[in-house]
Structure 1
Amino acid sequence: MPILLSLAAFLMTLVGGLVAHHVRERRDLVLGAAAGVMLGVVAFDVLPEALALDTYKLYGVPLPMLTFALAFLGVHAVERAVAVHDAREGDYAAHRHTHAGLGLAAGSALVVHSFLDGAAIGAAFQTSQTLAVAVAVGVIAHDFTDGFNTYTLTSLYGNARRRAVTLLACDAVAPVAGATLTTLIAIPRSVLGAYLGFFAGFLLYLAISDILPEAHTSRRHPGLTLAATVAGTLFMWVVIALTELQ
């Protein structure tokens, strides 16, 4: 049963990537929506889950929040070191991302996240089928956005379509692998909580420092792009709300 549900996540991930590929003419709106979805994933899903998994505090601060800050600052430091942004803030219209490695890292992080989504389905089944179905509903719903973001992030940083499709395929297979593996191995809650905090910091940094500025480079539909960002955030809120109702 866990593997069967993870196959639904596999299909939704592929659908998300295909949608991202076929809307190039509305790239600014796609990126705006992606940024909103990423914000929603961090605020409504990943961070709350990380804090629920790990209540340990280091000098008064929850460990997932420390790894969240570490990831945010770490990605910023790496970008500064390799000069990913070679334009000033006022020059975004002429700016293009050329650091393919960062796109691959972002896509790979989403693959790991999808693997943990599948692991969450498998782990929930070790508790009860009701809990597992509720978890699976959330995973299947937001794996569409995982596929969407994996393709968008990978291609945004100058990677060829073949690489973006390869990472999309890995992202689709990842929840199946995670669900299968957790029938054999349990992931410690503290490790999972710390990772989710780290992933949240990584994802939020990309959303606010890279995706949103890139979304507004064309300046063709500033109001619609903003609306797409808000819609993406609200979409994730609805997904989480529907999950909680199960």
Structure 2
Amino acid sequence: MAVFVALGAFLMTLAGGWTAQRVTDRRHLVLGLAGGLMLGVVGLDLLPEAMEAAGREVFGVPAALLLFVAGFLLAHLVERLLAAAHGGDRHHRTPEVGLTAAAAMVGHSAMDGVAIGAAFQVGEGMGLAVAVAVIAHDFADGFNTFTLATLYGNARRKALALLVADALAPVVGAASTLLFTIPPPVLGGYLGLFGGALLYLAAAEILPEAHHEHSAGPTLLCTVAGAGFIWLVVGLAGE
């Protein structure tokens, strides 16, 4: 059942990637929307789930928050090292950053599939509730995977390959739960780390590029709409 439901995430991811590549003439609006979607996913979905799953504190701070900060700093370090390799030009967008970020999205989508499978192990009702949330925000995952890969100068062929991998990942993740389960603290720690890296990409890369040499108003509206959409998805899934 979990694998069958994960096929919905497969289709929704492809739909998000298709949307991203069809609106290249309004790239700044696409980036603004992507930034809002990423912000919403991190703040309204990943981080709350990470804090709940990780549980314990380390020196008075929730472990998920520590890993969230670590993920942010790790993404910053990688970006700085790659910039230094190109003469310190911060605005030189290296394809490696885009490929790494998109690959991280694939890893996150696989964990989405694992979450679906694990929830079905608890009960069918829980499994369906988690699946609705995953399928809804996998549109954003597909949108962001294609956008991240192409933003950093990667060829469309590579971006499409990563999009297909991102679409297949939830199915593979759901199937893997037939063999093993992931302890909640480990899953929570991963979500915190990934959320920090994703927030860095949204705040330091995607949104500044979206507002570069374009009117801020429409782009800002797209960003707010993206975050609001995730809020709506999370709210509907929680009812």
Which TM-score applies when normalising by structure 2? 0.96
| Structure 2 match to 1:70 | 70
Alignment coverage as a number of residue pairs:
236
Alignment of 1:69-108 (within 5 A): 69-83=69-83, 86=89, 97-108=92-103
| Structure 2 match to 1:138 | 133
2:79 and 2:131 map into 1 onto residues whose CA distance is: 35
1:156 aligns with 2:156: no
Write the letter of the residue equivalent to 2:37. V
| Structure 1 match to 2:226 | 232
Q: 1:194 aligns with which of 166, 183, 189?
A: 189
C-alpha deviation, 1:80, in angstroms: 1.8
Report the RMSD for the aligned CA atoms in angstroms: 1.1
1:200 and 1:206 map into 2 onto residues whose CA distance is: 10
1:9 and 1:78 map into 2 onto residues whose CA distance is: 30
2:82 and 2:142 map into 1 onto residues whose CA distance is: 27
| Structure 1 match to 2:238 | 244
SS of residue matched to 2:133? helix
Contact conserved, 1:19 with 1:148, CA < 8 A, in 2? yes
How big is each residue's C-alpha offset from its partner over 1:119-156, in whole Å with a ceiling of 9 and x where there is no partner? 11100111110000000000000000000000000110
C-alpha deviation, 1:168, in angstroms: 0.2
C-alpha deviation, 1:75, in angstroms: 1.4
Which TM-score applies when normalising by structure 1? 0.93
1:57 and 1:33 map into 2 onto residues whose CA distance is: 34
2:142 and 2:54 map into 1 onto residues whose CA distance is: 27
Contact conserved, 1:28 with 1:218, CA < 8 A, in 2? no
Structure 2: segments with no counterpart, 5+ residues: none
2:114 and 2:77 map into 1 onto residues whose CA distance is: 31
How big is each residue's C-alpha offset from its partner over 1:65-116, in whole Å with a ceiling of 9 and x where there is no partner? 11111111121122222217725xxxxxxx5x53111101100110011001
1:86 and 1:33 map into 2 onto residues whose CA distance is: 26
> Percent identity of the aligned residues?
55
Write the letter of the residue equivalent to 2:201. L
SS of residue matched to 2:5? helix
Write the letter of the residue equivalent to 1:172. A
1:38 and 1:66 map into 2 onto residues whose CA distance is: 20
C-alpha deviation, 1:4, in angstroms: 0.9
1:127 aligns with 2:90: no
